[in-house]
Homo-oligomer: A and B are copies of this chain.
Amino acid sequence: MSHPLFDRHRKTLESATAAIRNRTYWSAYPEVPSGKIYGETAKQDGLAAFKARLGQPFELDQPGSIGRVGDEASPFGLSLGVNYPKADPDALLHAAGAALPDWRDAGIEARTGICLEILHRLNQRSFEIANAVMHTTGQAFMMAFQAGGPHAQDRGLEALAYAYEEMSRTPEQVTWQKQVGKEEFVTLNKKFRLIPRGIGLVIGCSTFPTWNGYPGIFASLATGNAVVVKPHPGAILPLAITVEIAREVLKENDLDPNLVTLVADTVDAPITKDLVIRPEIKIIDYTGGSAFGDWIENNARQAVVFTEKAGVNSMILDSVDNLKPVSGNLAFSLSLYSGQMCTTPQNIFIPKDGIRVGGEQKSFDEVAQAIVGAVDWFLGDAKRAAEVLGGIQNEATTGRIAQAAAQGGRVLRQSEPVRNEAFPEARVHSPLILQVESGQKDLYMREMFGPIVYIVATENTEQSIKLAAQTAREHGAITCGIYSTDEDVLAAAEEAISDAGVPLSCNLTGQIFVNQSAAFSDFHVSGANPAGNATLCDAAFVANRFRVVQSRAPVTVEASSTA
């Protein structure tokens, strides 16, 4: 039972499926925000579409709207003034539930085809979404375009490809014949139905609403579930546009748009906890802080729960050929989006006696100063600084910088406000770099989200590796990096860090950074330490979102002859 949209996008799906098998580089949606690719007017059209949203009610014709809600503020100082339907959960969940049977019965190809079309439309709207991501998360435009647009779409497609593969494993029907006597057979016709779990809840985060939201949305939707999207109150717009587009595509295909709905709230009147424990919610995808993630894991007993929480990422310096490309690479990693990526290193472990650089030993201070100097140089250019740092999403993060500086450690680099020429009101602060001793675990062995970096003086690399692994085991970690010229050190780190469930990036220099995670190739979050219980993406991320239920009946002589 094929579907026109499935046929239209089949090549994309096949390429995605091949990519997740061989894990070589592949991308469906171009990351370059070029007019040649997206259309010459795409950039200004997207900006205009975004601006037209400002100060306006965001209309979604979903049921159970009981007023308006929304209070987003751009970290770049722009007043958004957008409000969204305030949802009555009873009415909304009832409508979502009512949409399920037709969606289930539409079949694998129809559901997959419609999801592919939604992704295609999202891609076409990448510039508009980029502006929405920029002015909610604080990401600078280029990053907002790439991470919030094509890379997010790639992650959604990746989940979709896994879902399609899992759903296609089992045939719809089979004739089963068993010999039960010398000339006696039992012949059964068996039908296998995919039964969705019900309604999935996707809880978005404030920093990467689409990148972290799309995998759960498409994994749940493709496998026959309805999806209620609950964005972070600070980053509603990107997901509201996403919901709008999904509903459009569903409607065009004579399907109930209430399969995808939005529930918005504010920081002052949060409603996520109430949703999380609703009996109708059978799947939860959560991205956000660890405390609330842990609460969900422990309290949403009625649902299958996938979490991507927070961690404390480590960088281990052991030995390098040349310090400059290393400190330069690190400076970019530490500065990018002001350290607000879940993949940004927080702790840099350096032996207290320093490291080998090329032929000679450099002292701890020299290495630490090289990193500080690289950050200084990197942010010395105001335009580049603005483009890389972006804005601080949450006021609380700004407060945390001062708090960190006051709590202890030696300040190697003071955090300072940075002026963004284009957005003078933007909330921008450069990274704070502190030096601490390996024994000061109360300072560095905890998550300090934002542009806060600890350079930790250790006994030696062995201790550095041990502390990085311990941090991951106890507090979670999503990335770890190491610089070493010694194969044995690299092997030991790989063993210890992998065992703590953290992917390891070795000796990255040039245009590749520890923060980056590529769809179809890199597994984001391992599910093997407290930073989350799931991976983007693997089979485990999709296989339990639906169940197979069969029926079987004897094939009778009459039935055979009429078949």
Per the bound structure, the CA–CA distance linking A181 and B499 in Å amounts to: 35
Oligomeric state, in copies = 2
Choose, from A20-28, A46-54, A455-463, the stretch at the interface.
A20-28
A378 within 8 A of B: no
A379 to chain B minimum Cβ distance, whole angstroms, is 22
Per the bound structure, the CA–CA distance linking A301 and B521 in Å amounts to: 30
- Residue-wise, chain A 474-499 has the 8 Å CB interface mask toward B (1 for contact) of 00000000000000001000100111
- Residue-wise, chain A 508-541 has the 8 Å CB interface mask toward B (1 for contact) of 1111100000100111001110000001001110
**On chain A, which size bracket covers the interface?**
35 or more
Contacts of A181 in B (CB 8 A): 511
User: What secondary structure prevails in chain A residues at the interface with B?
Assistant: mixed
Given contacts A518-B176, A547-B526, A549-B526, contact A512 B186 (CB under 8 A): yes
A491 to chain B minimum Cβ distance, whole angstroms, is 10
Residues facing B in A351-398 (CB within 8 A) are: none
Is there an interface contact between B549 and A498, defined as CB atoms closer than 8 Å?
A: yes
A538 to chain B minimum Cβ distance, whole angstroms, is 6
* The one of B23, B170, B506 that contacts A553, using a Cβ cutoff of 8 Å: B506
Is there an interface contact between B504 and A176, defined as CB atoms closer than 8 Å?
A: no
A166 within 8 A of B: yes
Contacts of A540 in B (CB 8 A): 540, 543-544
Per the bound structure, the CA–CA distance linking A498 and B553 in Å amounts to: 14
Contacts of A518 in B (CB 8 A): 176, 178
A91 within 8 A of B: no
Is there an interface contact between A506 and B552, defined as CB atoms closer than 8 Å?
A: yes
A56 within 8 A of B: no
Given contacts A511-B180, A528-B195, contact A24 B174 (CB under 8 A): yes
A169 within 8 A of B: yes
Contacts of A527 in B (CB 8 A): 544, 547
Contacts of A497 in B (CB 8 A): 551
Contacts of A554 in B (CB 8 A): 506-510, 512
Is there an interface contact between B549 and A503, defined as CB atoms closer than 8 Å?
A: yes
- Residue-wise, chain A 156-170 has the 8 Å CB interface mask toward B (1 for contact) of 000000000010011
